[in-house]
């Protein structure tokens, strides 16, 4: 009779002293009680910590950090005072080179553990030249339920502006907003604008929105900037129209920040938390900004998806470009507004982009026309439905397919169609290497995994992009049959 190893007595609510040995996925540190895994956010390999167990499962537990008893040699002081609270950054407490090591290891682990690829080499992640101030878009939220930090609670002082906050959602709390005192992810002008609008709203008694009562005016502040053109968009989302409030606010803001090239007023008068709203008004400028990726220019409207790290987006696209030869027909699955389709267009005689969102397809066609890419066509529809034999008959069998699906990965019907078509090469771009490894494994009977190249699009967070290059296997003939 076999004896199973008993699970250590790790109970919810219990405090433990834990040695963190490994950097786990999602920005967590991993320690063990016997063979039992305990994951703790805001820790680093080499830390000895005191934690409290908050969740217990059969094979692992999760704890919250109470105290760093002996810090790791790799631990550094975060640049931002909100690190560890707002949820925007998860790796500010380690040097950037260590963060890159962790991310390379996470991608490698996913392909080994989930994909079953034990003999494949994972290239070191391509890092960013600047791990801060890289985002070209930040979305902030107003609220009347300000999240008080532990330090504020312990001080016992009265918080004068506790009913007004402008910042980021506290992780796991859609109704609580951390009032930001600083943020280092976007161009510094972004936080300056945030701070100015907050002070203006407080001074002029403009109420923030309350999600429970569906009351208040100010809902979101979205700031987008273009690195290569200098364009700067401010998009203020409110619960209704009010020219008596918006006109003087707009005039004041443009006077304070002459860098602003366009200002948008988005009206969301529904209970939906979406910042896209029901309709928009252009208060200043053309209503959009323009940006370049390589020689190609793109129009970015308020709700246009665009890679949030412009410099690293070009590095990511160059990895894909480097895996291409001149091909007759190239398909780009989940193409969005066509940025990658257009960037790769010089390598193909025909480019076919497929995307579910009608608005994105319209923008993709506009971007292609604006760049003189006349040999690119774009189709709209759900990938699992539209990526079929009829579409291939119309546009030709693809020689190479580039796919960049959502975090959930590709639908089984899409994978089945890939195995039916059998293009010479598949280049799989993903922001989630776990689902990427799963999908690549499903293709492995017909395809050889040639290369895995991570690219750090999101420094100081746990997110990392990954490019997997797959080549069709040669058919082997048995000469004895």
User: Residues with catalytic annotation?
Assistant: 431
Residue 5, classified by CB atoms within 10 Å of its CB into exposed (0-12), middle (13-18) or buried (19+), is exposed
Rounded to an integer, what distance in angstroms lies between the CA atom of residue 276 and that of residue 285? 19
Rounded to an integer, what distance in angstroms lies between the CA atom of residue 176 and that of residue 162? 11
* Residue 171, token pair as written in the block: 């992780």
Buried b (16+ CB within 10 A) or exposed e, 236-275: bbbbeeeeebbeebbeebbeebeebbbbbbbbbeeeeeeb
| Alpha helices, H only, 261-336 | 310-322
Backbone dihedral region for residue 87 (phi beyond 0: left; psi -120 to 50: alpha; all else: beta) = left
One-letter-per-residue 3-state SS of 151-189:
HHHHHCCCCCCCCCEEEEECCCCCCCEEECCCCCCECHH
Pairing status of strand 232-238 against strand 218-225: antiparallel
Backbone dihedral region for residue 289 (phi beyond 0: left; psi -120 to 50: alpha; all else: beta) = beta
Rounded to an integer, what distance in angstroms lies between the CA atom of residue 304 and that of residue 276? 10
Residue 321, classified by CB atoms within 10 Å of its CB into exposed (0-12), middle (13-18) or buried (19+), is middle
Task: Tell me if 125 sits within 8 A of 464, measured CB to CB.
Answer: yes
Task: Report the candidate in 461, 463, 464, 442 with the shortest Cα–Cα distance to residue 453.
Answer: 464
């Amino acid at each position: 009779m076999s004896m199973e190893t008993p699970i250590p007595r790790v109970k919810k609510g219990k405090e433990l002293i834990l040695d963190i040995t490994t950097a786990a996925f999602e920005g967590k540190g991993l320690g063990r009680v016997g063979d039992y895994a305990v994951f703790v956010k805001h820790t680093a390999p080499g830390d000895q910590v005191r934690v409290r167990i908050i969740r217990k499962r059969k094979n692992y537990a999760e704890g919250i950090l109470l105290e760093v008893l002996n810090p790791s040699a790799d631990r550094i002081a975060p640049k931002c005072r909100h690190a560890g609270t707002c949820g925007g950054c998860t790796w500010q407490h380690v040097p950037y080179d260590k963060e890159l090591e962790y991310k390379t290891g996470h991608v490698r682990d996913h392909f080994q553990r989930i994909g079953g690829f034990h003999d494949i080499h994972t290239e070191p992640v391509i890092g960013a030249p600047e791990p801060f101030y890289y985002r070209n878009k930040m979305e902030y939220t107003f609220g009347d339920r300000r999240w008080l930090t532990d330090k504020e609670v312990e001080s016992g002082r009265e918080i004068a502006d506790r009913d007004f906050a402008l910042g980021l959602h506290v992780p796991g709390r859609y109704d609580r907003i951390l009032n930001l005192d600083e943020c280092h992810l976007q161009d510094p002008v972004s936080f300056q604008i945030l701070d100015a609008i907050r002070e203006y709203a407080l001074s002029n008694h403009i109420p923030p929105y309350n999600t429970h009562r569906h009351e208040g005016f100010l809902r979101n502040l979205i700031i987008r900037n273009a690195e290569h053109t200098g364009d700067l968009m401010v998009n203020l989302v409110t619960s209704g129209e009010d020219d008596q409030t918006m006109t003087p606010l707009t005039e004041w803001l443009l006077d304070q920040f002459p860098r602003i090239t366009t200002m948008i007023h988005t009206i969301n008068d529904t209970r939906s938390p979406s910042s896209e709203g029901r309709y928009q008004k252009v208060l200043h400028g053309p209503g959009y900004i323009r940006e370049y990726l390589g020689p190609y220019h793109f129009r970015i409207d308020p709700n246009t998806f665009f890679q949030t790290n412009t410099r690293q987006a070009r590095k990511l696209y160059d990895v894909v470009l480097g895996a291409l030869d001149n091909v007759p027909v190239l398909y780009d699955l989940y193409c969005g507004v066509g940025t990658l389709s257009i960037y790769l267009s010089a390598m193909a005689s025909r480019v076919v982009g497929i995307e579910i969102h009608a608005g994105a397809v319209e923008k993709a066609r506009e971007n292609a026309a604006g760049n003189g890419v006349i040999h690119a066509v774009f189709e709209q529809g759900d990938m699992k439905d539209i990526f079929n034999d009829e579409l291939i008959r119309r546009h030709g069998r693809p020689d190479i397919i580039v796919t960049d699906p959502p975090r959930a990965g590709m639908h089984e019907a899409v994978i089945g169609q890939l195995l039916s078509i059998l293009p010479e090469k598949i280049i799989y771009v993903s922001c989630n290497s776990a689902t990427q490894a799963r999908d690549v494994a499903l293709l492995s009977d017909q395809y050889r995994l040639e290369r895995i190249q991570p690219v750090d699009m999101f420094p100081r967070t746990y997110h990392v992009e990954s490019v997997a290059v797959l080549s069709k296997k040669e058919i082997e003939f048995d000469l004895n049959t």
